[in-house]
Structure 1
Amino acid sequence: MSPHASITVIALKTLILLLGGLITFLAYRAYRRTRSQSLGSLALGFGVITLGAFLAGAGNQIFSLGLEASVMLESGLTAGGFIVIVYSLYAAE
């Protein structure tokens, strides 16, 4: 990967981490205020998606995890996070 592409990936992963972290925090704060299980699940789902993006980026950039393995890791956690989000919306009170 070229140095320019690496910088772009790092910048995008950082943006995803910041925005995903903010969404997770706001959903968790709403859960704490309302004690709604749906909001707790929503926060968990966004947290899993954000964690997947972070781990894939860190694995690829810091630990030299191959691109294919990084994409598989991120895709698996993203799918899991979306499953939790769908559950949170389906089970909404």
Structure 2
Amino acid sequence: MSPHVSITVIALKTLTLLLGGLITFLAYRAYRRTHSQSLGALAAGFAVVTLGALLAGISDLIVELPIQQTLLLESTLTAGGFAVIVYSLYTSD
């Protein structure tokens, strides 16, 4: 991978981590304020999606897992997080 692509991927993963963390924090804060189970599930879903991005970056750059395993890890956590988000939006308190 060229250095320009690596730097771009790192920058985008960092942005994803920051924005995902902010969304998770805001949803969790709303959950704490309202005690709404739906908001708690929403925060958990975004946390799982964000965790997927973080672990994919770590497994690619630090642990140096093969790209197929990194993509499998990230895709699994993203799909699981989105499933929790769908659940949070489908259910009502």
Check whether TM > 0.5.
Answer: yes
2:38 and 2:73 map into 1 onto residues whose CA distance is 26
**What CA deviation, in whole Å up to 9, does each residue of 1:24-61 have, x standing for no partner?**
00000000000000000000000000000110011101
- Corresponding residue for residue 56 of structure 2: 56
- Corresponding residue for residue 30 of structure 1: 30
RMSD after superposition: 0.7
Gap regions ≥5 residues in structure 2: none
Q: Report the TM-score when normalising by structure 1.
A: 0.96
**What CA deviation, in whole Å up to 9, does each residue of 1:66-90 have, x standing for no partner?**
1111111000000000110011011
Amino acid at match of 1:57: G
Number of aligned residues: 93
Q: Report the TM-score when normalising by structure 2.
A: 0.96
